[in-house]
Structures are given as C-alpha cells and as structure tokens.
Amino acid sequence: MSNYDIIIIGAGSVGVPTALLLSEKKLKVLVIDSKSSVGQENNKKAIGGIRATHSDFGKIKVSQRSIEIFSTWKEKFGDDIGWMANGYSFPAYNIEDEKKLKDLMKIQHSFGLNIKWISPQEYEKLVPGINTDGLRGSTYSPNDGSASPLLSLNAFYFKSLEFSAEYKFNENVINIELENNKISQVITDKGQYSADTIINASGNNAKEIGEMMGIVLPVIPDSHEGAITEPVERFFDPMVVDMRPIKGSANYYFYQNNEGQVIFCITPSPSIIGIDNDSTSVFLPQVAKRMVELYPRLANLKVRRTWRGQYPMTPDGFPIVGRSKEIPNLINAVGMCGQGYMLGPGFR
C-alpha cells in the first residue's frame, strides 16, 4: 500500500488546483480519477466565466483569490490560459430585477467588490446594439472575467507535476475503509492507498463517495447545455446574464471569449436531474430565440457545436467545503453548483 500526505479524489476543477497548491507546499500528493486525464467530467464543459459577484462572503472571497490566480498566471508562469477581464453584467428589464440587483449591490459593496450600476446608455456602449426597450440599467463588475477551462486546468496540472504531484488515471475508487472513525485506506480497482488526509473533490460522484464512508452528502447532478459559435471580430465585452425566467428556462447567459467565439448556456426550468450528456433538440432553438430578442446582432452567427454537462447541486445552492465532523481526516470540497471552475483555484 502506497502512503501519501494527501489523497485527492477527483482530477477536475477543484482537485487539480488543490493538488497544485499542496504539492507546491512540499506535501506528497496523490490524485485519483476514473477518467483518462484531468478535467474529463464537467471542467471541459464549463463555459469559462469567472466572477466574484456573488451574494455570500465566502464565495466572494474564494472567487477573488481565484481571479488573482487566473489573471496573473501568464505573467508568473508564461502559459496563456485565455484570461480576459471582460467583466460581468446583469441587465434589468423590470422594476423587480432592478431592486433585487441594487439591494444585492449593497451587500457586495460591503464585501469590497468593484461593482456599479450603469445607465442604459452606458450599458449600450459596453454591449453595442443591445435591446434597450424597457432596459432600466445594469450592474457591471469590471474585475470579473473569463479564461479557457481546458488551457487553465492543463496549466495547473503540468505545474503540479513539476512539484511532484502524482496522478492515477483510469482508476475507480471502490471502497474507503475506516478505522476508529478515520479513513485508513482508499481502495481502487487497481490498488490501495493511505494518507493523513483525504480530500473528496469528486464532483458528480460526491454522494457515492460519501456513502462509502457512511456519510450523507446531498449532491445531485443537474444537467445544463451550452454552445459555442464560430469566432468573429470582437463586438462586445462583458458576460451578459439575463435573469428573466420564461417557460422552460430560469435564465441564460453569454459572452465573447478571447478568441472571438460567443459561448452561451441556459438554466433549464424545471431542473433536469441526472448525468445524461447527450445534447437535446430543445436547447438551441430555445436559447437562440431569447438571445436574438435581447441582442439582435447575434442573429447571423454560426453555432459550431453544443454540449451537455452537470451542475453538482446541493439543496441550498451552496458548496459543501470543509473538514468533516464525523471523519476528522476527511475534507469535502463538493457540491459546487456549477461554479467549481471559478471557485476551485481559490480554495487555499
């Protein structure tokens, strides 16, 4: 049986940057994943947005640290991960959303966020050609941004290898043995491993990993679809989040990445529970209609592909992060609710 300081279950948006941090601190780290390489579950399906404009102090601070890592990575290490400080925007088209956003801004300002309310005229300069009928204004957070999930995670992975982190791919965790309420060994279909501390960063599989240890982790995967267009010359900057619900969708959001491609995603309503990764025939017509009504300039873009991934959701929409009370040498970092990519590097 091989012994480590830390074993991380899951080589995704949370597990890989965590391995980087811990191996940089000279700890002996092992990452176990059932897939053939890093980021093969939901990381490669993320659309790349990174924001600190949350409502919760913890998520704000973690995301601020993540933004610092993403935004300085190229300068520090030389890898171009596609970082772009394009900002986030939440336009309001009714009184209720305007009040909700302005009330939230008071909380966000109290936590030190750089976010402001801008007029319809100012917003149209950021998103030229946006539909201004009924537009009451928008929040705008210029420090938020985006980066390539594939380039980022691979940069974190190769840097962690330089610090001697080890990875076991194509290995399934089949049992976790306890002794005196502590994890004594992690058993896979290919080997047995022990460590002083185990980190559960298993994304979609968090609940099943918890069951192996006799603990309940209420994490349920919720499927979302995304798409990407052909690249075109840049014509707008911020992520645009339309909060207005209609039948079939709670909201949707889109932005133009550093290569000029428009990436977009929708939040289905009701939720689609499960891990089915097949794209549907419903998504594209549904979201395209909404996007073109809001932003007519999108009408002639060609969509290159669509895909489907999961948000590992919790009942209250907040991640489960921290040391387990039941098992002292277990740390859970699960239930990211679709925000693992933007939160992962900031868990330090």
Confidence at residue 212, expressed as pLDDT on a 0 to 100 scale: 97
Percent of the chain with pLDDT over 70: 100
At residue 1, does pLDDT exceed 90?
no
Report the pLDDT averaged over residues 235-253. Answer: 95
Asked whether residue 99 is assigned to any structural domain, the reply reads: yes
Can you spell out the DSSP letters for 46-78?
---EE----SSHHHHHHHHHHHHHHHHHHHHH-
| pLDDT, tens only, 162-196 | 999 999 999 999 999 999 999 999 999 999 999 99
Which run of H or E residues covers position 262?
A: strand 261-269
Q: How far apart are CA 120 and CA 232, in angstroms?
A: 25
Q: Confidence band (pLDDT; 50, 70, 90) for 348?
A: confident
Residue 266 CA to residue 281 CA, distance in Å, equals: 14
Q: What angle do CA 128, 129, 133 make, to 5 degrees?
A: 125
User: What's the CATH code of the domain at 54?
Assistant: 3.50.50.60
Asked if residue 296 and residue 230 are part of one domain, the reply reads yes
Cis bond before residue 270 (omega within 30° of 0): yes
If asked whether residues 297 and 231 sit together in one domain, one would say yes
- The token pair that represents 168 in the structure block: 């076991």
Average pLDDT over residues 120-138: 98
Q: What is the overall mean pLDDT for the chain?
A: 97
Read off the pLDDT of each residue in 332-345 and give the average, rounded to a whole number.
Answer: 97
Tell whether pTM > 0.85: yes
Domain residues for the domain of 332 are 2-78+149-219+315-346
Residue 317 tokens, joined: 């929409």
Are 286 and 263 in a shared domain?
yes
At 239, which CATH number? 3.30.9.10
The reported pLDDT for the residue numbered 224 is 96
Is the pLDDT reported for residue 260 higher than 90?
A: yes
- In this predicted model, what pLDDT tens digit does every residue of 75-92 receive, in sequence order? 999 999 999 999 999 999
pLDDT band at 4 (very low <50, low <70, confident <90, very high): very high
Beta pairing partners, 182: 179
Q: Does one domain contain both 33 and 128?
A: no
Q: What is the pLDDT of residues 28-65, one digit of tens each?
A: 999 999 999 999 999 999 999 999 999 999 999 999 99
